[in-house]
Amino acid sequence: MNPRIYWKEAKYEFLKLLRTRRYALSVLGMPVMFYCFFALGMPAEASFHLPTYLIATYGTFGVMSACLFGVGANLAYERSLGWMEMKRVSPLDGGAYLFGKVAANLVFCLAVELALLLVGVLFGHVTLTVWAALRITGVLLIGAIPFAALGVALGYMIQASSAPATLNMINLPMAFISGLWVPMMFLPPLLQKAAVFLPAYHLSKLALDVIGLDSAPAGMLHWEALGAFTLIFVGLAYWAYERQGPAAEAR
Average pLDDT, rounded, for the chain: 85
For position 142, what pLDDT does the model report? 95
Percent over 70 (pLDDT), the chain: 86
Stretch 149-165: mean pLDDT, rounded? Answer: 90
d(CA 144, CA 230): 10
Among 130, 157, 128, which Cα is nearest to 68's?
157
For position 250, what pLDDT does the model report? 44
Stretch 167-189: mean pLDDT, rounded? Answer: 90
pLDDT above 80 for 223? yes
Q: Is the dihedral of CA 78, 82, 83, 88 positive or negative?
A: positive
The answer to whether 199 and 229 are in contact (CB under 8 A) is yes
For position 89, what pLDDT does the model report? 65
For position 92, what pLDDT does the model report? 66
Among 198, 204, 163, which Cα is nearest to 69's?
163
Instruction: Name which residue leads in pLDDT, 11 or 183.
Output: 11
Among 73, 99, 72, 94, which Cα is nearest to 14's?
99
| Cβ neighbours, 10 Å, residue 124 | 20
Stretch 207-234: mean pLDDT, rounded? Answer: 86
Residues 60-118 have pLDDT tens digits of 999 999 999 989 888 888 888 876 666 666 666 667 888 888 999 999 999 999 999 99
pLDDT above 70 for 198? yes
Stretch 28-57: mean pLDDT, rounded? Answer: 79
Helix (H, G, I), strand (E, B) or coil at 213: coil
| Across 71-75, 122-126, 191-195, 213-217, least confident range | 213-217
For position 39, what pLDDT does the model report? 81
pLDDT above 60 for 216? yes
pLDDT above 60 for 205? yes
Tally of domains within the chain: 1
For position 43, what pLDDT does the model report? 58
Q: Confidence band (pLDDT; 50, 70, 90) for 241?
A: confident
pLDDT above 60 for 44? no
For position 243, what pLDDT does the model report? 79
For position 247, what pLDDT does the model report? 45
Side-chain-facing half-sphere of 9: CA atoms under 13 Å: 19
Domain carrying residue 214: 3-249
